[in-house]
Structure 1
Amino acid sequence: MNDTGVQEREVGTAEAADVDVDVVVIGAGQAGLSSAYHLRRTGFEPGRDFVVLDHAPRPGGAWQFRWPSLTYGKVHGMHSLPGMELTDADPARPSSEVIAEYFDAYEREFELRVSRPVDVRAVREGPSGRLLVESSAGSWATRALINATGTWDRPFWPRYRGQETFRGRQLHTAQYPGPQEFAGLRVVVVGGGASATQHLMEIAPYAADTTWVTRRPPVFREGPFNEEFGREAVALVEERVRQGLPPKSVVSVTGLPLNDAIQQALRDGVLDRQPMFDRITPDGVAWEDGRHVDADVILWATGFRAAIDHLAPLRLREAGGGIRVEGTRAVADPRVHLVGYGPSASTIGANRAGRAAVRDIRRLLAEAPVAA
């Protein structure tokens, strides 16, 4: 069993697949669609040479599950997919609607033929040196794999003493319904990232009281997030995956932008950060120094982990718990590329990584003869 609790099966030669292809792309968010675009642009035929499998019920990637109050105008750093700009979007509309419609149009424009909903259960060694992708819709034997599954399906829930005794409601950012549902309630928001601050600023006008707790003091950064600073931040994340450590988000090394809304929330006391509590009580949270905050809701804005459990049969994880990656290629298996993982877990990073993965896969397929 691996460190995520997923049972690992023995690696061996599997049964013949339903379909043979050159490349399987798992996931149809920004990373998966970018990869599919570059495959198609360089001569791979959708449905014949490659397939895109997506477990979501409709186009939009993880964006389709975002909370309604996250309008398109509040989205930071959304870059268009390659070959087709996102233009004239209404900033007042929910980002879940705007981006889902854009992804849908993109899939149709480039005839990417995404198969959905398809749940990929495992990727393992297959016949004749191929990888076998097993799913709810059958299996594919493939010469190369682009894994673009993101993190949305793996919300991280910390564990604290007394958590099971709490009589209120606990929910994660992935389940955040919007601020109105917290009207008149006492809310503790846990987490030091952008989601936590966005939740707090939305909830504060409705809630009876809000408390913000983080493990470490938040770092607010003044000045523009320019290209040079972005490259430096990505390089720090990239170094972790080179070492086989679980990736951190880019924002974890950039800090939080000290924009006008954040500055106002700091002045208003909405972003009055408290150190992490030591335990959870039936009625709230408590610190060892005797302090206690009553709470009706604990909202865990504690981030996500990479959704890669289906790759467990390939045994790609290093001792540090992550998959060691050079560029997008898994060092332990050059047939496997991870796009949207670690340093490419941003919209612009996913675009670039999709192009790089396809370039490397073309080289791999040219060098490796097709096994009978």
Structure 2
Amino acid sequence: MTHTTDVVVIGGGQAGLAAGYHLRREKLDFVILDAQNDPGGAWRHTWDSLHLFSPAAFSSLPGRLMPAQSGEEYPDAGHVVDYLADYEQRYGLPVLRPVRVDAVRPEGGRLRVEADAGVWSARAVISATGTWWRPFWPAVAGREVFTGRQLHTTGYRRPADFAGQRVIVVGGGNSGAQIAADLALADAELTWVTQRPARFLADDIDGRALFDAATARRRALDAGAADTGGVASLGDIVAVSPVRAARDAGLLKAQPMFQRLTSGGVEWADGTTALADTVIWCTGFRPALSHLAPLGLRGARGHIVTEGTRAVGEPRVHLLGYGDWIGPASATLIGVGRTAREMARDVALLLTR
């Protein structure tokens, strides 16, 4: 049986919910297909100590302020999961789960969305699957000979799992710094490795300032002005309280990137070595877009070219929540709402033609 609707949203995390909110305001018929068993998106799978960069009031989706978390200035991931579940229910968003979308294909004047729970025929598709499900593992010499444990950010939960171990954390972004701080303040022997010297943002900068910087950069670029550098001009690491504590205690001293892994650890270019039981790769993510492969939208470098959120090669497809290339801070709670509003208006205009 094929289900028919105006719009299919793929992904029921924060971007998918923001899309649903604005699609409803545009009075469009839509469904949200989410591969997860429960609400919360990627926030349900993060490490235990993860907190937001901003207070609750500045970490909200459109239409509903996130309530403050008792005893916490910056809410933790569990609080975000509860907020997203409440948001979904409050607005009665039509989320179906677990439904995993395998492919989107053109079918006449519509798009065919093939999933493990059936087929949907839509006039437009919004991909909001995020990046958490596609961790990036760098090509580093010796990865296949290392006899210890290797995991990505997605596999890390708590420092107690590494008590008494020699752990190398690779990555100079927020995930790398926060996990390194987690381990440095616990019973683990930490080596923190970064591609370039660690750049901490000023202690008073949080998600509000980052959103403003990303927005100012996008406006400057759209106006043909010089690139302000956006968030990258401020630094790489938000100094949340655990990171500040570990840094100020002298426990967060980044080493340069090693040259290769050995069977028992790592080796730098000068021959220096370090033993390791575990290597944690905090090396980022890529957009999870394999379901769009049948549309042939990727360019020579594997990147889908967009105008705003709309795919240039297939105007009936929109991408939401994958980072600044889709909209300023669109991969954040505070940032995705504005981009979702513009996208919903664009979709509504398309469907009235």
Instruction: State yes or no: 1:76 paired with 2:53.
Output: yes
Q: Contact (CA 8 Å) 1:130, 1:143: kept in 2 or not?
A: yes
Q: TM-score, normalised by structure 2?
A: 0.88
What is the Cα deviation at residue 85 of structure 1? 1.5
Q: Contact (CA 8 Å) 2:102, 2:291: kept in 1 or not?
A: yes
Q: Contact (CA 8 Å) 1:123, 1:134: kept in 2 or not?
A: yes
**Alpha-carbon distance between aligned partners in 2 of 1:260 and 1:68, rounded to the nearest angstrom:** 15
What is the Cα deviation at residue 234 of structure 1? 5.3
Equivalent residue for 2:191, pick from 211, 220, 231: 211
**Alpha-carbon distance between aligned partners in 1 of 2:233 and 2:313, rounded to the nearest angstrom:** 27
- Aligned-pair identity (%): 47
What is the Cα deviation at residue 268 of structure 1? 2.9
Task: Tell me whether 299-308 or 154-163 shows the greater mean CA deviation.
Answer: 154-163
Q: Aligned with 2:182: secondary structure? A: helix
Equivalent residue for 2:254, pick from 273, 278, 282: 273
Q: Which residue of 1 aligns with 2:181?
A: 201
What is the Cα deviation at residue 230 of structure 1? 3.1
**Distance 1:99-1:228 versus aligned 2 partners, 3 A rule:** closer
What is the Cα deviation at residue 139 of structure 1? 0.7
Q: Contact (CA 8 Å) 1:63, 1:95: kept in 2 or not?
A: no
**Distance 1:358-1:33 versus aligned 2 partners, 3 A rule:** same
Q: Which residue of 2 aligns with 1:370?
A: none
What is the Cα deviation at residue 254 of structure 1? 4.3
What is the Cα deviation at residue 43 of structure 1? 1.4
The residue identity in structure 1 corresponding to 2:78 is E
**Distance 1:91-1:60 versus aligned 2 partners, 3 A rule:** farther
Equivalent residue for 1:26, pick from 5, 10, 13: 10
Q: Which residue of 2 aligns with 1:55?
A: 35
Instruction: State yes or no: 1:336 paired with 2:313.
Output: no
The residue identity in structure 1 corresponding to 2:341 is R
**Alpha-carbon distance between aligned partners in 2 of 1:88 and 1:191, rounded to the nearest angstrom:** 31
Q: TM-score, normalised by structure 1?
A: 0.83
Deviations 1:276-305 (A, max 9, x none): 111111110001211001111101111111
**Alpha-carbon distance between aligned partners in 2 of 1:176 and 1:260, rounded to the nearest angstrom:** 19
**Distance 1:28-1:251 versus aligned 2 partners, 3 A rule:** farther
**Alpha-carbon distance between aligned partners in 1 of 2:87 and 2:122, rounded to the nearest angstrom:** 25
Q: Aligned with 1:102: secondary structure? A: helix
Q: Which residue of 1 aligns with 2:302?
A: 321
What is the Cα deviation at residue 273 of structure 1? 1.1
Q: Which residue of 2 aligns with 1:3?
A: none
**Distance 1:81-1:175 versus aligned 2 partners, 3 A rule:** same
Task: Tell me whether 342-351 or 94-103 shows the greater mean CA deviation.
Answer: 94-103
Q: Which residue of 1 aligns with 2:24?
A: 40
Instruction: State yes or no: 1:178 paired with 2:155.
Output: no
Q: Contact (CA 8 Å) 1:169, 1:298: kept in 2 or not?
A: yes
**Distance 1:177-1:264 versus aligned 2 partners, 3 A rule:** closer
Deviations 1:206-235 (A, max 9, x none): 234211111122222326363642324557
**Alpha-carbon distance between aligned partners in 1 of 2:124 and 2:110, rounded to the nearest angstrom:** 8
**Alpha-carbon distance between aligned partners in 1 of 2:21 and 2:162, rounded to the nearest angstrom:** 42
What is the Cα deviation at residue 262 of structure 1? 4.1
Instruction: State yes or no: 1:134 paired with 2:114.
Output: yes
User: What residue ranges of structure 2 are gaps of 5+ in the alignment?
Assistant: 224-229, 325-329
Deviations 1:177-198 (A, max 9, x none): 2111111111100001011111
Give the aligned CA root-mean-square deviation in angstroms. Answer: 2.4
**Alpha-carbon distance between aligned partners in 2 of 1:275 and 1:237, rounded to the nearest angstrom:** 33
